Amino acid sequence: RARGGVAARAGPQALSKIIETQAATLAALSVLDRGLCVDFLFGQSSKGFFEFAARHPGLMARMASAAIDAIADGEKNKVARKPPTEADFNLLETALVMGGLSKAEIEALLDGRHPDPPIPDERLCEAGGVYLDGMKGLPEEPRLRLYALAVELMAKM
């Protein structure tokens, strides 16, 4: 957890690699179990995820390697980024709307607000993929600010 801030200060390649491995894991989970996909998306661990991890050691190794590489890169390069701006979040929200997400789905992803009735796991898992793709499609500076924030938040989960 303490290293999340260090990883967030990594260079563009190392920081992007973390998000890419998260996207690969989300994609693998979406095929096998949409409930686990949503748990992963929101940083919840479960017995099912540990079983998934045991069956996918290569993917888990890539995730761990990406995190370790980003920590090492962040310690070395100490890239100072400002936090994401309102304009950055507006760009992301526009990308998510263009990706077909509803306001409720966007709020669930960005703010952790879950509507009543809840969004079905199948749809929320898909929305998670749209979210990661949406960030990936942003211009470099806003994308890296958002990636850095995401890495810091992931470390706190």
Which of 154, 30, 9 minimizes the C-alpha distance to 81? Answer: 9
Confidence band for 157, pLDDT divided at 50, 70 and 90: low
Confidence band for 88, pLDDT divided at 50, 70 and 90: very high
Evaluate if residue 1 carries a pLDDT over 60.
no
Give the integer Cα–Cα distance in Å for 98 and 48.
Answer: 33
Secondary structure tally for the chain: helices H, strands E: 9, 0
pLDDT computed for residue 51 by the predictor: 94
Give the integer Cα–Cα distance in Å for 84 and 43.
Answer: 21
User: What would the mean pLDDT of 132-137 be, rounded to a whole number?
Assistant: 95
pLDDT computed for residue 130 by the predictor: 97
User: What would the mean pLDDT of 105-121 be, rounded to a whole number?
Assistant: 89
Evaluate if residue 138 carries a pLDDT over 60.
yes
pLDDT computed for residue 132 by the predictor: 95
pTM of the model: 0.91
Q: What is the dihedral of CA 74, 76, 80, 83, to 10 degrees?
A: 0
